[in-house]
Each structure stands twice: as structure tokens, then as C-alpha cells.
Structure 1
Amino acid sequence: MRKRIIAAVICTAMVFSAAACGTKKSTEGTGGEKSKELKEVSFVLDWTPNTNHTGVYIAQEKGYFEEEGLKVEIAQPPEDGAEALVASGKAQFGVSFQDSMAPAVAGENALPITAVAALIQHNTSGIVSRAGEGMDTPKGMEGKKYATWDMPVEKAMLKNVIEGDGGDFSKVELIPSTVTDEVSALQSKSVDAIWIFYAWAGVATEVAGLETDYFAFADLNPVFDYYTPVLIANNEFLKQDPDTAKAFLRAVKKGYEDAVEDPKGAAEILCKASPELDTELVQASQEYLADKYKGEVEQWGYIDPARWNAFYQWLNENQLVESELPENAGFTNEYLPE
């Protein structure tokens, strides 16, 4: 784990050489006078820009960060992901997932990271397949080719829902593969079933006109309605500079609430920031997520302790983590704006 952190620091040192927690930079006004000093903050994505991240780009575009006295740099993640970079302190904030965080927040080698906000209130992931081939329920995956990341938690969850549907997980053909184009993979029949986040890959199949079947993990077992994705922060940064952490989250909150109110405008801002994205896909994805960023909660970003703990308890009971995860491990609502 320590080697991963060191590697992440080295490969991203140039990206963040100008940004460090506590650094301030003054800007020049139109008349040459110095304007408000801005504190520099680094934010690292979990993947390429997509609609999970829209609220951050809105906060950047509309000046919400600057209103809070912040200058925010948004960067792509290193190969090891956002967790290692945030843990190293080279980025103050990043994007992660409750399931992938689990090995990192317990035990002697725990990474100093904490989830400080839920970017989406419920787990929108599940299994997509070509329509009409019997995989609209988990049992139907028997004898079919599933693209696996070959991760213990992934396979344990799949086994749980298949056996819960009366199926035999051992009859699923596991094909080690990291699918980046779900539409092409299904159309070519290189695989039959793929674990996706519906807000992006599921919507992409709709935009492409590919008829699919789909089932969501959260619909089959409430334990699997965990938080994915989440916004994480460096623990030392949270301790030393809580006011900046709260200022960052206030700005981000405004961004996501704007995305809820105006999906079309939100899509335009994301496409402006990342012009390589498919405009039709982004627009459809924003419409899909508009009522899911906050869901039923009043407070943007709120993490329900009962739901968070239920998933980690399931990991403990199934011995899917090396060190037992204690109650409330790895998250806090302390820095959320009211």
C-alpha cells in the first residue's frame, strides 16, 4: 500500500507541482489592483470526465469555487486511482467508491482518506446483457460469458444475487476483461453480460439503440445499496484546514443542485469542459441522474450511517477484507453544508 502511494506521488508530481494545501495565490483585477487571494485546492477524478463529476465542473464554470476563496485544479487520476493520490496529500479531494475504499480504511496500513459526501444517493450499478437472452434475472447468467474484473468483492456480490435467484454461480463463464466500450462488447458477442453503472454505460446502450436487459444490485439485496461514487478527502487536510474543506463542499453542493434543476445546462457545461464527450450521451445521462444526485434526502451529499455500515458489515461477515471494518469506518457528514 505504501509503495502504491509513493508511485502515485512520483507519477503525478508534475501535475500538482504548483498546487499544495495551504497555498494562496493573488489575482490581478482589471485595474491592476490585487483581488481576493485564492487558496489552491487539488481535486482528482476517478476516471475520465463524466456525469458523476458534473457538479464539480459547474462549480468551476460558474465561479462557485472562487466565491468561496478557492482556486481548484481538476486532474485525471494516476493508474493507481484517486485513493493513493489523496492519501499522499498531493490532492486534497478525489472521487472513490465505498466498495473499493474498504481495503484502504481499516487495519495497520489504512490509508488516511475519508468519504465526505455522496455524489449519488443510491447504487445505480447492475448487470446489462443483450435483450431476450434470458439474463434479465441473475439465474439467467448460468452458462453465459461475464466480463469480470476478477475482484473478490465483485464476485461475492454476483454469487450472492445469482444464488438468491436460485442459480449456480459456478456455471457462469468468467471472462477476465475490463470493458471500456460496453455497446461494442455486447454487439460483438465477445461477452454476454457486463457490470455497469447505468447512468453512463446503460444510457449509452439506449443512445446507441441497442436493446438490453438489466438488473440492479440494489433492487435484489438492500445491503448492496451502498455509496458509489463518493467524494473523498485527505485526513490530515481535514484536520488542519476544516474551513477550506467546508468551503469546497459548499461550492460543489451548489454545482450539483444546479445539475438537478437544469440537466440541459449542466450537460452543456460538462461538454464545454470535456469537448471529446458525446453530447447526446451526456445530455441523456444528465437527465437520468437529475433526480438521483440527491435522491430523497434534504441535505446534498448526506451518507446514511445505517446503509454505509450494513455493506461493510456484509464484507466483514463474508471475510472479504483483511482487517475487520469497524462501525462508521471511512466516512463523515461533518463537513457537509446545511
Structure 2
Amino acid sequence: MLTLTRRAALLAGFGLALAMSSAISSAAAQTPTPIRFTLDWKYQGIHSWYFVAQEKGYFRDEGLEVTIDQGEGSAATVTRIMSGAYDAGFGDINAVIQQASQKPADAPVMVYQVYNRPPFSVLTKADSGIDSIKELAGQKVGGPAGSAATRLLPALLARNGVAETSVEVLNMQPNLQEQMLIRGEVAASLVFNVTSYVNLIQQGQDPDTGFRWLDYADYGLDLYSNGVMVSQSLARDKPEAVKGLVRAINRAVKDVIADPASGVKALTAIEPLVDAKSEQRRVAFAFDTLMITPETRKIGLGDVDDARLGRSIDVMAEAYTLQDKPKVSQVFDRSFLPPPGERSIGPATN
């Protein structure tokens, strides 16, 4: 027979074991979910909301531990995720369309659309005499061979009644596009406008008055572009983590819209070598040109119009001769988005 003292000791030990077990379970439940996140390029103002989400603890609030790395291009974001090196990233939905056609089991899915308009532009000097796409006929234009802006040029020309053979395309390195245009070696450059805008500033040029931007979206190629994408495995196995990731980023985007300087401040805390003034201009340009549009004001940040995305898929299938056209649902999944009220930015005030 157990003595009272021994029984008390056993009960106390049992209680301690239960408490320890409960504490371990609680700690395990609170362990943040790690997410490896890749950007599309070197740190820039257009990445500031990710660092705001990190700095303000929005990721932590969602039970996430997000590691953010620089990228090697918008399309490379897709292949990095497909390789398993990253769980999520900021990259081009048009590259998702290509991979969803060719490798549907491996392609990531877009869960939060950031650029409502594509950043592809024909850049020319203000005094070049080129006021529309039609006036590219008989001109020499420059662009990197593998860039989306260059690959989509035939489709752009076709939609504007310009014979492809009438335009000479000079292959050039991305870092030479603005220089060769300024020197008059080409009449126009096929650029990623949110990048070229600041490149011109850094070369002592005024991108607003000294140059003309002919945006692909205004000339028949109304595509979507960069946004937040995740691997199929993350979406399938950890849907709450994906919802949390999107919620945190959406909060941060709205913060930067309200106070762009705070976003650039968060960026410079990570990368002190960036020029804060130039990056703040880049953020303003991105908001005005790519992100805050009549459609965004109607459907909210992060979402897409399915019919428009379907037309974008048709354009990409033609431009890249895709054998199989993916469905809209294979490319974009809105089930991870916060409610519309949390993504609303309201009507224009002017």
C-alpha cells in the first residue's frame, strides 16, 4: 500500500510531467512557419513593403518566419520556386503562365497581384518624333534578347498594324539600354519601365520631361505582371501560412501607399547603400503607373479580373507558342486573399 507521502509524490510527478508535456506542445504550436522568399531583383523601393512587413512584425503576427533574398529576374523567381530552393517570391505572372503550360505539376501559383499593369514600355526621347507604336516602323530599337519586353514586341507591333520586318531590333545588355538611347545609337529601347525610370535619374536625366514612355498596356497588350507567388506544395500543405503571408504583405502595401517614405526607410535599414531619394521616386512611379489603377480601385489590391487574365493567357500563348493554354485557376488563386474591405484603397481623390 502506498503511503500518503509517496502517493503525493507520485501525483506531483505526474502533474509535472503533464505540465511539461503541455508546455512542449504549446511551444511546438508557437514555432513559426519558415518561408524562404525571393525577390525579382536587387533591393529596390518596389520591395519596400516586404521589409515593412518584417520590420513591423506583420509576418511574426501571422506565425511566420520569412527570409527575404535578392533575385535574378522576374522569370527567375518562378524557376527558383520550382527548384524547391524557395517557397514563395515576387515575380512575373506571365512566367507563371509559361510554366503552367509546360510543367503544370510544378509551376507556382500567383496569390497576390501587385502590378496591375505590365511594366513593359517603349522608351524614346521626347524629341524623337516617335509619338506612338506606329512610328516605330523604319526605326532601330534596342532590347535584351530574352526580356519579356523584347519577346512581346512582335505581338505589340501586330496589334498596332506595324510590320515586324519594318523594325530593326538590336540586341543589347540591360545595363546599356538607357545609355545607348541617350547617345542616339537606337531610336527607342524596350524597357522594364520601373527600372529604367530610376536608371535615367542616376544618369542625370529627367525621365518625366526628357523622355516619352509608350506603355504596352496602352497599345493593346493589357497584361498583368509581378505579384506574390507560392509553390504548389506550400499552398496545398500550409494554406493558413499562405493566407498569413498575403495578409501581412497586404497590410504593408497599404502602409507604404499611405507613407512611401516609411517604406524606403525600412529598405535602407536592410540595404544602406541604396539612394533613398531615387527609390522614393521609384515607389511613386510604381504606384502611379503599375499598381493603383481604376481596376485596382474597383476590385481591391491583390486581385485580378478573370476575363482579363484569360486574355493575357491568350497573348502569352501566341507570343511564346505555348502548346497548352493553362486555365485562369492554374495561374491565380484568390482563395488566399483577405476580404475585399481589407484590400480596398478607395476611389481617386482628384
TM-score band by shorter chain is 0.7 to 0.9
Structure 1 stretches of at least 4 aligned residues deviating more than 6 Å after TM superposition = none
| 1: CA distance, partners of 2:185 / 2:171 | 11
Please, which of 257, 262, 265 is the counterpart of residue 259 of structure 2? 262
In the alignment, what sits opposite 1:51? 45
The CA RMSD measured in Å over matched residues stands at 2.8
| 1: CA distance, partners of 2:317 / 2:174 | 29
More divergent stretch after superposition (70-79 vs 88-97): 70-79
1:31-58 CA-partner distances (Å, limit 9, x unpaired): xx99953222110011112233221111
- Match of 1:307, SS state, is helix
User: Deviation at 1:104?
Assistant: 0.5
1:107-126 CA-partner distances (Å, limit 9, x unpaired): 45653310111112222421
1:107-160 CA-partner distances (Å, limit 9, x unpaired): 456533101111122224211012211223112223333223335965563234
| 2: CA distance, partners of 1:191 / 1:109 | 39
Tell me, which stretches of 5 or more residues in structure 2 are unaligned?
Answer: 1-26, 340-350
TM-score, length of structure 1 as denominator length:
0.80
Larger Rg: 2
In the alignment, what sits opposite 1:330? 331
In the alignment, what sits opposite 1:3? none
| 1: CA distance, partners of 2:323 / 2:148 | 12
| 2: CA distance, partners of 1:35 / 1:102 | 36
| 1: CA distance, partners of 2:116 / 2:335 | 17
TM-score, length of structure 2 as denominator length:
0.77
- Match of 2:283, SS state, is helix
User: Deviation at 1:311?
Assistant: 1.0
Alignment of 1:47-196 (within 5 A): 47-77=41-71, 81-107=76-102, 110-151=105-146, 154-155=149-150, 157-180=152-175, 182-196=177-191
Distance 1:199 1:107, change over 3 A: closer
Decide whether the 8 Å contact of 1:145 with 1:172 is kept in 2.
Answer: yes
| Aligned-partner residue type, residue 191 of structure 2 | I
Structure with bigger helix share is: 2
- Asked if 1:286 is matched to 2:283, the reply is yes
- Match of 1:329, SS state, is helix
Tell me, which stretches of 5 or more residues in structure 1 are unaligned?
Answer: 1-32
| 2: CA distance, partners of 1:35 / 1:151 | 46
| 2: CA distance, partners of 1:324 / 1:172 | 29
Decide whether the 8 Å contact of 1:309 with 1:328 is kept in 2.
Answer: no
- Asked if 1:209 is matched to 2:199, the reply is no
Distance 1:36 1:319, change over 3 A: closer
